[in-house]
Amino acid sequence: MPITPDEVEYVANLARLELTEEEKERFAGQLDAILQYMEKLNELDTSGVEPLVHGIAGRQATRPDRVEESLPRDEALANAPEKSEGCFRVPRIIE
């Protein structure tokens, strides 16, 4: 099933991307080609094959529960476009 420009718009909206009509059309075609390529995998019989959760074999490392030093606040806030009262400042949040 080909990807429609409407679907591209929906996904773009979720990702907070603004696309032009021309882009939606173009990306729809590109995404479609990618998905069709992935569809090829479905031609393989994978019954009896364990699902793979990660591309790297191995298991996650853990660390002991120890407190380490955090960043000085000035440094933590250094990249914030706006800040006040030691906080990141963002447009007013409405729930």
Count how many residues are written for the chain.
95
Of the candidates 38, 44, 68, 81, which one interacts with other proteins according to CB under 8 A? 68
Least Cβ distance, residue 24 to other proteins (angstroms): 17
Q: Is 44 in the site for other proteins (CB under 8 A)?
A: no
CB of 80 to other proteins, least distance (A): 9
The token duo for 4 is 């429609």
SS3 of 12-31? HHHCCCCCCHHHHHHHHHHH
Q: How far is the CB of 61 from other proteins (least distance, A)?
A: 6
End-to-end CA distance of the chain: 36
Q: Which stretch binds other proteins (CB under 8 A): 1-9, 24-32, 37-45, 47-55?
A: 47-55
* Min separation Cβ 36 and other proteins, Å: 20
**Is 35 in a helix, a strand, or coil?**
helix
What is the DSSP-derived secondary structure letter of residue 10?
H
Q: Does 41 bind other proteins (CB under 8 A)?
A: no
